[in-house]
């Protein structure tokens, strides 16, 4: 390779799926959406009860909405193996908590994209829901839970703040919906939204 700054193309790296512990094994790109077929990168073949080795029993597909690429909704179809313990007979699934919360509809990458869209780019919740092609309620519940976890529940979020600015503006004129932001003017970061 003439220039050492480039590496070989990797879809998992481009789609930030390696951060989620997923490996891409297939793709389907259509004009209005993209589907990536993935598997969990690390095997999970040891019993959590007795420590014996398990054998693959079957698998299931977990569907996750991911961050859109080129404003094209991206869906992850994650193949999750189920194992049965040789010793005690316990059955378990591969751990996918790196990719998404249990029972979540959005991947952690999709949540990060949605939260940045709300806080940094000031997108509406309808636009956030449109990006990964999920319902408004699904997007709203996921963003509120992640916002509480990342922004509100962080006890150190005001550490180092020297100057605070408060800004009120109308979000929608016809409904007179107001939004207030509290920002750290020293670091140019929003620390609270109400």
Question: Looking at the predicted structure, is the pLDDT value of residue 1 above 60?
Answer: no
DSSP 104: -
Question: Looking at the predicted structure, is the pLDDT value of residue 16 above 70?
Answer: yes
The mean pLDDT of 11-24, rounded to a whole number, is: 90
Mean pLDDT lowest among 49-53, 114-118, 154-158, 162-166: 162-166
Question: Looking at the predicted structure, is the pLDDT value of residue 175 above 60?
Answer: no
Say what the alpha-carbon torsion angle 136, 94, 17, 103 is, to the nearest 10 degrees: 10
Burial category of 185 from C-beta neighbours within 10 Å (exposed 0-12, middle 13-18, buried 19 and up): exposed
Residue 43 has what pLDDT? 86
Residue 7 has what pLDDT? 78
Question: Looking at the predicted structure, is the pLDDT value of residue 178 above 60?
Answer: no
Beta-bridge partners for 76: 36, 64
**pLDDT tens-place string over residues 73-106:** 999 999 999 999 998 989 999 999 999 999 999 9
Residue 98 has what pLDDT? 93
Work out the pLDDT band at 33, boundaries 50, 70, 90. Answer: very high
State how far the Cα of 54 lies from the Cα of 32, in Å rounded to an integer: 41
Work out the pLDDT band at 2, boundaries 50, 70, 90. Answer: low
Residue 173 has what pLDDT? 52
- This prediction has a pTM of 0.75
Place of tokens 């007179």: 176
Question: Looking at the predicted structure, is the pLDDT value of residue 118 above 70?
Answer: yes
The mean pLDDT of 32-45, rounded to a whole number, is: 92
Work out the pLDDT band at 3, boundaries 50, 70, 90. Answer: low
Question: Looking at the predicted structure, is the pLDDT value of residue 130 above 60?
Answer: yes
């Amino acid at each position: 390779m003439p220039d050492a700054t480039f590496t070989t193309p990797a879809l998992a790296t481009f789609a930030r799926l390696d951060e989620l512990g997923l490996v891409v094994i297939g793709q389907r790109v259509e004009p209005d959406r993209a589907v990536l077929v993935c598997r969990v990168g690390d095997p999970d073949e040891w019993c959590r009860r007795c420590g014996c080795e398990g054998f693959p029993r079957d698998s299931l597909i977990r569907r996750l909405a991911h961050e859109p690429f080129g404003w094209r909704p991206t869906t992850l179809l994650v193949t999750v193996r189920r194992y049965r313990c040789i010793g005690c007979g316990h059955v378990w699934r591969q751990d996918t908590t790196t990719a998404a919360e249990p029972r979540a509809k959005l991947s952690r990458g999709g949540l990060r994209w949605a939260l940045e869209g709300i806080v940094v780019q000031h997108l509406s919740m309808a636009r956030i829901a449109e990006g990964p092609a999920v319902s408004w309620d699904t997007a709203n519940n996921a963003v509120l839970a992640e916002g509480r976890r990342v922004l509100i529940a962080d006890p150190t979020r005001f550490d180092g703040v020297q100057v605070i600015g408060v800004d009120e503006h109308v979000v929608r004129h016809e409904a007179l919906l107001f939004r207030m932001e509290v920002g750290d003017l020293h670091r140019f970061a929003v620390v609270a939204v109400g």
